[in-house]
Homo-oligomer: A and B are copies of this chain.
Amino acid sequence: MFMHNKRLQYTVRVSEPNPGLANLMLEQFGGPQGELAAAMRYFTQAIGEDDPGRKDLLLDIATEELSHLEVIGNIVAMLNKGAKGRLAEAAEKQAELYSTITGAGNDSHLTQVLYGGGPPLVNSAGVPWTAAYIDTIGDPTSDLRSNIAAEARAKIIYERLINLTPDAGVRDALGFLMTREIAHQKQFEKALYAIEPNFPPGKLPGNPDFTDKYYNMSQGPGDGRGPWNEGEQWEYVDDRKDQSAVDGGDGSATVQMSKEDLAVLRNLWRRTATQNGERITGADLGAGPGAGAMTGGKTPRS
């Protein structure tokens, strides 16, 4: 069960309203690397998890991320405070409001016109949050890796926001949120390595013929070697012939079909087959009288 206390996890002190900055902050409220995505990623894992330790860990962090969602949401609300009143109360002439809302450095029209200054679950471009951002699949060695990566990404987005935020109070709160992503990443790392073995994920082993091959699919200028394809571990496959049909077959795709199915398909193939001969096309007609030569056909006119 969730409970709530109206005291925030971190005090939010904003120096002055700035709807343009509010809009950028939405990235971590309703964006793909934001706090709702984090909270829901861990919460859905927790519910499906049967290991009591990991379940507890996931619930602890999911709950903290919800509290972070509240912190970043309050930053957005504070930055929008002035603009919200002016639009709702029609406190300025239309032309002034229009220029404030669409003016330079201020891409916040959506937040104001559509959402009235409250924090919506959209990213900084106005794209609604979607559960497609959540990559939980219900396997712990995969999900923990996903969590580690997610924390790393969230850390970077906070770092970028800190780098461009002129308001010291906002920067202070962002610094806290960024730091907690580092802490969470370390915690998930601990949980991953407490499963042994954790690689490869799952139960089925790979086919040893293909586990250590490196296919050099991109060649030409800039082709190189690195720890991922050199050394005794790796078999480096460079020749195009050895990259296709690697099972030793002919590289085709086939299916065995009944006579009846084949007969039906033959009718379909025949009905839609490419036929020989040069033909005038719609583009020929459309290119106009003088364009015949270009398209290789004669252009008729009714």
Contacts and interface: CB of A to CB of B under 8 A. Distances in A.
Interface string A96-135: 0111011111110110111111111111111111111111
B8 A253 contact: yes
Given A63-B218, A152-B142, A203 B57 contact: no
Interface in A64-84: 64, 66-67, 69-70, 73-79, 81-82, 84
Given A101-B164, A275-B195, A203 B24 contact: no
Given A114-B33, A187-B229, A194-B226, A269 B11 contact: no
A298 B288 CA distance: 17
Contacts of A84: 48, 138, 265, 268
A198 B135 contact: no
A214 B2 contact: no
13 contacts: A2-B67, A48-B115, A51-B269, A63-B217, A75-B253, A78-B253, A126-B127, A152-B201, A175-B207, A186-B211, A195-B286, A199-B287, A281-B282
Contacts of A273: 51, 195
Interface in A209-262: 209-229, 231-234, 240, 243-258, 261
A243 B9 contact: yes
In the complex this chain forms, how many copies of it are found?
Answer: 6
A222 B52 contact: yes
Contacts of A152: 139, 141-142, 145-146, 200-201
A165 to B, nearest CB: 5
Which 6 A-B residue pairings sit nearest by Cβ, starting from the closest?
A: A116-B138, A48-B118, A125-B126, A11-B249, A233-B296, A282-B282
A276 B194 CA distance: 7
A17 to B, nearest CB: 6
A3 B234 CA distance: 20
Given A7-B251, A11-B249, A97-B163, 16 more contacts: A6-B251, A43-B73, A47-B73, A47-B74, A49-B118, A53-B226, A79-B255, A102-B106, A120-B131, A135-B153, A141-B286, A152-B201, A179-B206, A189-B284, A226-B274, A233-B295
Nearest to A100: B164
A82 B257 contact: yes
Contacts of A44: 73, 118-121
A175 to B, nearest CB: 5
A127 to B, nearest CB: 6
Nearest to A183: B211
A6 B256 contact: no
Contacts of A161: 113
B255 A17 contact: yes
